[in-house]
């Protein structure tokens, strides 16, 4: 095999053969293909796309580049959820213990935030002592004992994706549905779960801003999951408005604890319960997640999961030393609260990162006191900004300058769950 021939095939619109795909993924992972050649192939894929069977082979080769976890000893049906990323999306923190309380096991291998979207691991690391690093045997043990775990993917899972993702990030080849789908699904299939529900976000604060592209991505990932023996479905959920009332690592943990105690924002509860119902259906379990969540017992399971991973659920969460209040500029009804603007503000306050190696603040973020449909009064607090240093406020205020539209009438209702994709 020759890398130039593989690049030329895709550049000219051809289908990569199974042999070409297997050779390229294996050889690049081992260091035998140069980064500039891999970048050229990725760009050719961005422009030319991939056929369904070609993409399935590409994902299979990425999966075969590493190990696949064996969760057969867990003793419960296993089902996971993956979100394509949003603002204020703290659903995984609530969903994991909820699914466990309903009788399944949820092996949540999560990632970190980048840019305006938050990361589950960053949120959980706001809890003193909690660690995302578990060996596979320890992960199985926690799933057996608690029924849920939130942790980082080990280096042995889909190492080809780790190399390719880092290259895509610096070569403007992220925006490709085949590459996005194979990246997500190779890791999720490798974690060994029997079933998977995808939360594909749609809107200004999402990676996919329109329903058409989100549906295409969801359909592609569902096909990949089914092709590899994982029962898979997807929900398209709205991300024009951020979820809940806060964006920021420790702030979202606080909000998650409120939901786990049977309270919390209605939109977070609605999305969580919709995903839980879909997951339990795929797992073959008959339970009412709304009733279970409202009962409040899920909170103790979350606390047990935190303890199992070295965290102290009773320790105080970090608090920002600097705060800034933004008042409503007019009286009326909130018609729009832009998710991307809020996410960028939280990022500039220190809650997010521009590069994967950047540190994040556990206490920084944004709290908002009104959502679309709420009535506000001029001069009353609309946002509260949290930061570790006052110099960060200026950039955040610039991001929020046009984040809110206030009008005389409330907007019409907009569904949170837009569509379902799956068998």
- What pLDDT, on a 0 to 100 scale, did the predictor assign at position 325? 98
With pLDDT > 90 as the criterion, what percentage of the chain qualifies? 86
Specify the domain boundaries for CATH 3.90.1170.30 within the chain.
322-407
| Best CATH choice for the domain 322-407 from the list 3.40.50.720, 3.40.50.880, 3.30.450.370, 3.90.1170.30 | 3.90.1170.30
pLDDT at 139 over 80: yes
Buried b (16+ CB within 10 A) or exposed e, 120-158: bbbbbbbbbebebebebeebbbbbeebbbbbbbbbeebb
pTM (two decimals): 0.94
Q: Give the separation between CA 301 and CA 98, rounded to whole angstroms.
A: 8
- What pLDDT, on a 0 to 100 scale, did the predictor assign at position 115? 67
**Average of pLDDT values for 72-94?**
95
Specify the domain boundaries for CATH 1.20.970.10 within the chain.
3-49
pLDDT at 214 over 90: yes
pLDDT digits (tens, 9 = 90+) for 242-277: 999 999 999 999 999 999 998 899 999 999 999 999
pLDDT at 207 over 80: yes
Residue 161: active-site member: yes
- What pLDDT, on a 0 to 100 scale, did the predictor assign at position 339? 96
Residue 263: active-site member: no
Residue 15: active-site member: no
Laid out side by side, the sheet with 332-337 consists of 375-376, 332-337, 404-407
Residue 92: active-site member: no
CATH number of 3-49: 1.20.970.10
pLDDT at 423 over 90: no
Specify the domain boundaries for CATH 3.40.1030.10 within the chain.
79-308
Catalytic residue of the set 161, 199, 267, 338: 161
Q: Counting beta carbons within 10 angstroms of the beta carbon of residue 97, is it exposed (0 to 12), middle (13 to 18) or buried (19 or more)? A: buried
Catalytic residue of the set 82, 123, 188, 340: 82
Catalytic residue of the set 90, 163, 187, 348: 187
**Average of pLDDT values for 181-209?**
93
Q: Give the separation between CA 385 and CA 354, rounded to whole angstroms.
A: 19
Catalytic residue of the set 96, 110, 183, 361: 183
Secondary structure percentages of the chain, helix, strand, coil, to 5: 45, 15, 40
pLDDT digits (tens, 9 = 90+) for 297-309: 999 999 999 999 9
pLDDT at 119 over 90: no
**Average of pLDDT values for 287-301?**
94
Q: Counting beta carbons within 10 angstroms of the beta carbon of residue 395, is it exposed (0 to 12), middle (13 to 18) or buried (19 or more)? A: middle
pLDDT at 25 over 90: yes
The first and second tokens of residue 270, run together, are 């609605």
pLDDT at 355 over 80: no
Catalytic residue of the set 10, 90, 116, 168: 168
For domain 79-308, say whether CATH 1.25.40.10 is its number.
no
Residue 96: pLDDT band with limits 50, 70, 90? very high
Which has more confidence, 241 or 171? Answer: 241
**Average of pLDDT values for 352-377?**
90
Which has more confidence, 157 or 405? Answer: 405
**Average of pLDDT values for 103-121?**
85
Residue 187: active-site member: yes
pLDDT at 324 over 90: yes
* H/E element, 91: helix 91-101
């Amino acid at each position: 095999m020759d890398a130039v021939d593989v690049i030329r095939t895709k550049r000219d619109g051809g289908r990569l053969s199974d042999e070409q795909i297997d050779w390229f993924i294996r050889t690049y992972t081992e260091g035998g293909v140069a980064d500039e050649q891999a970048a050229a192939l990725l760009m050719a894929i961005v422009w030319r796309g991939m056929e369904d069977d070609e993409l399935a082979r590409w994902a299979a080769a990425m999966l075969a580049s590493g190990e696949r976890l064996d969760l057969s000893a867990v003793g419960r049906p296993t089902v996971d959820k993956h979100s394509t990323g949003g603002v204020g999306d703290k659903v995984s923190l609530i969903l994991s213990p909820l699914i466990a309380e309903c009788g399944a096991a949820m092996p949540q291998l999560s990632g970190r935030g980048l840019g305006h979207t938050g990361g589950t691991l960053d949120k959980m690391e706001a809890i003193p002592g909690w660690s995302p690093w578990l060996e596979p045997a320890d992960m199985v043990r926690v799933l057996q004992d608690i029924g849920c775990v939130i942790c980082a993917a080990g280096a042995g899972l889909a190492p080809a994706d780790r190399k390719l993702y880092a290259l895509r990030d610096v070569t403007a080849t992220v925006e490709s549905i085949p590459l996005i789908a194979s990246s997500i699904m190779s890791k999720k299939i490798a974690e060994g779960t029997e079933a998977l529900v995808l939360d594909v976000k749609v809107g200004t604060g999402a990676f996919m801003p329109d329903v058409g592209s989100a549906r295409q991505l969801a359909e592609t990932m569902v096909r990949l999951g089914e092709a590899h023996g994982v029962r898979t479905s997807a929900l398209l959920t709205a991300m024009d408005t951020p979820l809940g009332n806060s964006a920021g690592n420790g702030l979202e943990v606080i909000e998650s604890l409120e939901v786990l105690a049977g309270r919390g924002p209605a939109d977070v509860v609605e999305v969580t319960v919709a995903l839980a119902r879909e997951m339990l259906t795929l797992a073959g379990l008959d339970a009412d997640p709304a009733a279970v969540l409202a009962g409040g017992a899920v909170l103790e399971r979350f606390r047990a999961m935190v303890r199992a991973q070295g965290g102290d659920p009773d320790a105080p969460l970090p608090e920002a030393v600097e705060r800034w209040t933004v008042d409503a500029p007019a009286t009326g009804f909130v018609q729009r609260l832009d998710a991307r603007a809020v996410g960028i503000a939280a990022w500039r306050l220190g809650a997010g990162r521009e590069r994967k190696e950047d540190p994040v603040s556990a206490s920084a973020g944004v709290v908002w006191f009104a959502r679309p449909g709420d009535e506000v009064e001029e001069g009353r607090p609309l946002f509260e900004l949290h930061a570790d240093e006052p110099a960060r406020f200026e950039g955040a205020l610039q991001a929020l300058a046009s984040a809110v539209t206030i009008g005389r009438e409330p907007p019409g209702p907009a569904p949170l769950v837009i569509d379902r994709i799956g068998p």
